[in-house]
A and B are shown apart, each in its own frame.
Chain A
Amino acid sequence: MIKIVGKDALETWVDEVIARMRTYGVQAKGDHFSFESLRRAADLRLDYDVTILPPKKYLQPPRETLLRFSGAVEYESVFDEDPFVIFGIHPYDLEAILQMDAIFEKDQRDEHYLRRRSKAVLVACDVETVSENVFAGCMGTAYLESGFDILITKIDGGDYVVDIQTDAGRSIADSLKSAKDANKKALAARREVWNKNKARLRRHKLEVPLEELPALLEAGYEHPIWEERAQRCYSCGSCNLVCPTCYCFDVRDDVGWDLKHGVRARVWDGCLLAGFAEVAGGHNFRRNRADRYRHRYYRKGKYLPEMIGKTACVGCGRCITACTAKIANPVEVYNALLEEKDDH
């Protein structure tokens, strides 16, 4: 069902959801925006540009208990199956979540991720404010017509089109049933928002057609850009940290004071960090910064696309903003590879 509601009705509904279940939403945080626990609808900022971290943090938490142990081999699996709602996911972040779903489902199912995910209700919203470095328009993620449970779009005139597509969405949208159905005009206005966003979410312009990216990378392995840009890399992993499609992790044990009870947890890791590919005994298979730097762009543009059939950069632009050395812009990297190719 697709409804149209005013701002007040929208807030009333969000407050109802908050009263019922664990709810997260985008809120102001200093000069920036962040997904945080949502206590009242009035705090929800659907007009945000981009959040500091993507909503990934609720689906793959920075630190996540996998197992609890109470002796040498007494392990219990720990699953988080408490339902929750996330309000205000931009389409590019939604696309990143859909990619994570595919990855954690593929071959060996990761029940820790998948069970948590199955209890998440994703309420997306179309972009109102263009952020400093977004290029989702070039990545096919300026808007999505499916993949969310609910999509909220602010249309011309100030009303919101609320598109409820799944059972999970309907389960939290009872009170919207009585709202007006979106008419043709409202749907046309939403289409206009989509078209506008597709055109304007292009702060950086990717010259490479997405389907040609793997082949371009295939040919560009020895390109001087890797060494040149990596020379300025601090190996700080900020690009990994803020990336909605980065999901690599390390596994660690934390043991209690009795040296018997404890947990095995996974924590975010990043392929730009120096020790990422180091093995016991100290040999590091990606010791050079340039190798680690290149690996990131290959993973997003070639390796993961070969695995899941989608470009694993969604154009959020967070890495561009986060990088101290200003070398993390994927568009600059991919365009540079194209220029080199054209020179020949």
Chain B
Amino acid sequence: MITEEVGERDKCLDIFRPEPATLLRCRQMTRLEKWFQFRLDSGRALGHMPGQFVEVALAGIGEAPISVCSSPTRGDTFELVVRKVGNLTSALHELEPGEKVGIRGPFGSHFPVETEAVKGRNILFICGGIGLVPVRSAIQYVLDNRGDYGRIMILFGAKTPADRLFVEEMAEWQGTEDVTLLETVDRRDAHWTGVEGVITTLIPCIRFDAQETVAIVCGPPIMYRFVILELLERKLLPENIYVSLERRMRCGVGKCGHCQVNGIYVCQDGPVFSFAQVKDVEEAL
């Protein structure tokens, strides 16, 4: 075996080699979720679009696919929210500012916020739990290009009040003109005065012109069925409903086979799909 001299050309060639990024800031958000802000050591911006993901590596532990939660409109840093569920994510939670991770990507498809399919229309964001993480990138993008879109409606559901993410930022969104934000929790606590119930309870509370509205939906697998049914009943077209699928995206480059959904590779063809693209794909939803 021979080891390659590290050269710029070879860095591009090896689809498995991560590039270094430094942790700038981090903050615990909930018991399990932590927010991180990184910058690539090369100084270049990540170059992602809302909804894309990166493979985050810690040498000796491994790699995991993580959605980018910040918008490319917000400078040359990028942000991730990581739920502590396994070896890699637990180790990520231990990182201190100044420490480094390896990054590959960005990978996959994105919420098409920059296209004519979305521009000029109302956008209905529906997020369950950490489904808000990739969608936040799209919300920031849309708010930063506010003139390009119609009304903005955000529905967010968390298991309990303690599981809510981006609480301060949501308050900001709520205070923005032309933005409607509604929240619910599956189970209230002693302090919660808001809505209680699953996310679909919020959908009847909003009005929109189905012809002029695009929905961006992200949440746990079970949520999609119920939310999409509601949206179809409200006459939203399948091609105007976008979903982001979670799968085991091991390699990120369409080779390893783990993220395959029938004939589709989620890491390449997704993770963002229109409902029209996946409604007849049996394993998708």
Contact = CB atoms under 8 A, between A and B. Distances in A.
B246 A77 contact: no
A217 B64 CA distance: 33
B100 A72 contact: yes
Given A251-B16, A255-B59, 7 more contacts: A71-B59, A72-B101, A75-B17, A78-B2, A253-B61, A276-B257, A283-B221
A80 B15 contact: no
Nearest to A277: B248
A65 B102 contact: no
A107 B17 contact: no
**Residue from B16, B83, B102, B268 with most neighbouring chain A CB atoms (10 Å):** B16
A215 interface: no
B85 A253 contact: no
B60 A248 contact: no
B248 A278 contact: yes
Contact of B4 (A79, A248, A279): A79
Interface string B238-262: 0000000011101101111110111
Contacts of B13: 77, 109, 111
Given A277-B247, A280-B64, A271 B3 contact: no
Contacts of A30: none
Given A72-B58, A253-B61, A253-B62, A77 B4 contact: yes
Interface in B25-67: 41, 57-64
Given A82-B1, A110-B15, A251-B256, A73 B86 contact: no
Interface string A273-299: 000111111010110000100010011
A250 B58 contact: no
B99 interface: yes
A252 B60 contact: no
Interface residues of A, number: 59
B284 to A, nearest CB: 10
Given A75-B59, A262-B60, A298 B100 contact: no
Nearest to A72: B100
Contact of A271 (B1, B6, B247, B257): B257
A283 B263 CA distance: 20
A248 B263 contact: no
Nearest to B63: A251
Given A72-B58, A281-B85, A81 B63 contact: no
Nearest to A256: B60
Contacts of B250: 249-251
A291 B17 CA distance: 33
Interface string B89-108: 10000000001111000000
A270 B125 CA distance: 37
B228 to A, nearest CB: 18
Given A72-B59, A73-B20, A280-B64, A110 B263 contact: no
Nearest to B107: A108
Contacts of A104: 255
A75 B18 contact: yes
Determine chain B's interface SS by DSSP, over half rule: loop
A112 interface: yes
A156 interface: no
A76 B15 CA distance: 12
Nearest to A284: B248
B58 A109 contact: no
B14 to A, nearest CB: 4
A253 B6 contact: no
Contacts of B60: 69, 253, 255, 259-260, 262
**Residue from B13, B19, B258 with most neighbouring chain A CB atoms (10 Å):** B258
A63 to B, nearest CB: 13
B283 A286 contact: yes
Interface of B: 1-4, 6, 10, 13-21, 41, 57-64, 83, 85-86, 89, 99-102, 221, 246-248, 250-251, 253-258, 260-263, 268, 282-283
Contact of A298 (B14, B21, B62, B262): B262
A279 B14 contact: no
A255 B62 CA distance: 10
B15 A108 contact: yes
Contacts of B247: 277, 279, 285
A269 interface: yes
A264 B88 CA distance: 14
B58 A77 contact: no
Contacts of B100: 72-73
A109 B15 contact: yes
Given A253-B60, A277-B247, A280-B64, A75 B102 contact: yes
A152 to B, nearest CB: 30
A6 B60 CA distance: 54
A257 to B, nearest CB: 11
A78 to B, nearest CB: 6
The 4 closest A-B pairs by CB, nearest first: A248-B257, A255-B60, A73-B20, A69-B59
Contact of B253 (A79, A108, A271, A280): A108
Interface string A20-51: 00000000000000000000000000000000
A220 to B, nearest CB: 12
Contacts of B263: 298, 302-303, 306-307
Interface string A79-111: 111100000000000000000000110111111
Contact of B10 (A77, A298, A302, A303): A77
B10 A262 contact: no
A277 B99 CA distance: 31
Contact of B16 (A66, A72, A81): A66
Contacts of A286: 283
